[in-house]
Amino acid sequence: MKSFVPVLFLVYELCLCGSQGTSAGTVFVLKGEGLLLNVTKAVVLGKFDNFSWKCNKSNIVRFTFNDKGASPNYDGRVEFPENNFSVKLKNLQEADSGVYSAVVATLSGDETEAKYNVKVQDRASLPLLTVSSVSESSSSCSFTVTCSSQDSHINSTFTCDTRTCSQEGGERSEGIPDTFLQVHQSSRSIICNHSNRVSWTSDTKIIKDVCHQLVDPPKPDPVSIILGVLFTILILAIIGGVLWCYLRKTGKGVIVENTVYDTAKFVAPARRKDPTADEASAPPLSCIYALVDPKTGPPAPTEPRNTAQLESVYAQVKNTTPSP
């Protein structure tokens, strides 16, 4: 009778819990954090086969056909988050650094399925930034700082005038395996950084405390800003008022100019009915009036001035056009 053969699918993948980093195949883990080993590949475990996670060739955990267990060195620090070959290691220490491998042991021999180089690092220590020397004049100064950690140190020189500062040789950095030290200028401060693959720390000094010649840029006066805003609003209001009055006046003038008045029309006088045919067929009489002005000039001295209104004299000229 054939024995039951379970088939488990594993993926070559390494997942980390907590702070981590990678470099050239190395996985960095912060001391005290956890590491999730999650490897999958089509693996067949027979009755006499087993699957193991090892660190530097020492067993961490082992899976058999129907059981699994952890090494005493990892007792209480191993979890099985899923029903497969995944393993979570907790509270890793620097001594847990090493090569982790997934191995399937069969009757024909061991088969290594994956390898990972894991390095556990402590937090980067706090660096120390000190001023080594200062040289000052009336308008400038030059000073040297030392940025140091437990493993190394860097010296760098800065020159400042009343406005700017420059770092001699540019930004300085120095690294030993997996640890870096750096000193640079940022926002009128000197910063010393100490970092590794999983953390970083820094120490800072204000340049003005070292170089008193450096003057901070003037800050805007809040009162001046408020007055400037109010003055701008006032000017805009005046311009707006003048423009509104001008447009209103211009609009009224256009209305007057566009007023349309009715045009007077000539209406011919109505003809009177007359039994006389000749008179009926004759064209209507046109009346022409001539206005004779009163006599002008001063009145005679011996005659009293007549204040009565003079009557206008009209002469009527009858139309003498012959009838047809």
Q: Compare 187 and 271 and report the one with higher pLDDT.
A: 187
The CATH number covering residue 110 comes to: 2.60.40.10
216 lies in some domain: no
List the beta bridge partners of residue 173: 182
269 lies in some domain: no
Residue 178 structural domain:
128-210
Indicate the range of 38-42, 137-141, 164-168, 304-308 predicted with least confidence. 304-308
Band of residue 244 on the pLDDT scale cut at 50, 70, 90: confident
Structural domain count, the chain: 2
Q: Which of 153, 178, 210 is the last residue of a domain?
A: 210
pTM: 0.56
The rounded distance, in Å, linking the Cα atoms of 140 and 236 is 46
136 lies in some domain: yes
19 lies in some domain: yes
In this prediction, residues 136-155 reach a mean pLDDT of 90
Q: Compare 61 and 256 and report the one with higher pLDDT.
A: 61
154 and 51 share a domain? Answer: no
Band of residue 201 on the pLDDT scale cut at 50, 70, 90: very high
89 and 52 share a domain? Answer: yes
Q: Which of 169, 191, 210 is the last residue of a domain?
A: 210
66 lies in some domain: yes
In this prediction, residues 258-272 reach a mean pLDDT of 52
The pLDDT assigned to 11 comes to 35
